[in-house]
Amino acid sequence: MNAHNFGKVAVLMGGASAEREISLLSGSGVLQALRSKGVDAHAFDPAERELSALKTEGFARCFIALHGRFGEDGTIQGALELMGIPYTGSGVMASSLAMDKTMTKRLWAAEGLPTPRYCTLGPDQHDDIGLQQLIASLGLPLIVKPPHEGSSIGISKVTQADQMAAAVALGAQYEPELLCEEFIVGEEVTCPVIGIGADARTLPVVRIQAPDGAYDYQNKYFTDAVSYLCPSGLPAAEEAEIARIVLAAFRSLGCRGWGRADVMIRASDRKPFLLEMNTSPGMTGHSLVPMSARAAGTSYEDLCLQILALATLDSSPRHRSTP
């Protein structure tokens, strides 16, 4: 893999989402890794520069290290499609679908893939009656989350009915319609995918052990309180089933390049449930895709190079193949 063949590369980082801080950490890591491999890579923050500069300054491809809105939701992908600049990760439609956790769950349910039971809570349902009806439908505990945010932003676990109003108020700071989900009691794991179409493959499963089950924004990125097990230590059959449903989930959304699915394993029967698909996963020092890749024998630098090599466009036939 000749680094010079990639041409001038923009590492898109920062952006205007609530995950800007994490994106800057991810992008800085990717930028350093690509440069260490001889790639002509440059930092590019869409919140501070006009996107048209990517075209006028001769960038040949983009590594998207943006997270959340305006970076992971199909918007930046659409702009790059119009400019004809290949980019890493999923295309416009797949990025938009995966960013919308409610639409993701609807599609997975239609495909027969396991995902926790859920309800949506519109802005006209935030009163006591609406919240009581929701609890009666899903039971407790449950999860309340804004469906278009990532990195555990705006998420609450509700264990008692009197916590519901505060959870809804927190989520509503980010968007009016919320996703409320049955809480699966068990172990949390994550499983990355890399590749395009029939060539897509999973990387080793990572098992997450957070203090008191609090795998929140702070613990994800800024503490060392969380334990990560990779190899996961799960029975081979369990890991194989997780890999199977994650790959099916990735393909069902039309994802390509790379991604990472979060999964809960129900303690009562060890059944895995898909939570969400991340199409632009974190690449920080605490991030899980690099950890999984290392367990498979791939360094952070080589992982970045592999992802960059898969950069393409929706309009290119390269990514089209039968799942």
CA–CA gap between residue 308 and residue 62 (Å, rounded): 8
Contacts 24+ apart (CB under 8 A), 106-110: 107/252, 107/253, 108/249, 108/252, 108/274
Tell me, yes or no, if 221 is annotated catalytic. yes
Catalytic-residue membership of 262:
yes
Q: Which of 73, 181, 182, 262 is catalytic?
A: 262
Task: Give the single-character DSSP code of 204.
Answer: P
Catalytic hit among 23, 26, 95, 151: 151
Nearest to 115 by CA among 230, 307, 272, 270: 272
Asked if 57 is an active-site residue, the reply is no
Query: Of these residues, 96, 278, 280, 287, which one is catalytic?
Result: 278
Q: State the Cα–Cα distance between residues 305 and 74, nearest whole angstrom.
A: 23
217 is catalytic: no
Other C-beta atoms within 10 Å of 225: how many?
A: 13
**Catalytic annotation, pick one of 81, 181, 241, 276:** 276
| Active-site position among 14, 15, 17, 19 | 19
Query: Kind of pairing, strands 142-145 and 61-64?
Result: unpaired
259, exposed or middle or buried, with CB in 10 Å at 0-12, 13-18, 19+?
Answer: buried
Buried b (16+ CB within 10 A) or exposed e, 31-41: bebbbebebeb
Q: How far is CA 317 from the centre of its chain?
A: 25
Catalytic residue of the set 87, 118, 215, 221: 221
Q: Is 276 a catalytic residue?
A: yes
> Does 81 participate in catalysis according to the annotation?
no
| 302 labelled catalytic | no
List of residues 6+ apart from 98 with CB closer than 8 A:
72, 90, 104, 253, 255, 259, 276, 277, 278, 279
Q: Which of 29, 68, 282, 292 is catalytic?
A: 282
- Cα 105 to Cα 169: distance, rounded to the nearest angstrom: 23
Q: Does the active-site annotation cover 212? A: no
- Residues marked as catalytic: 19, 151, 221, 260, 262, 276, 278, 282
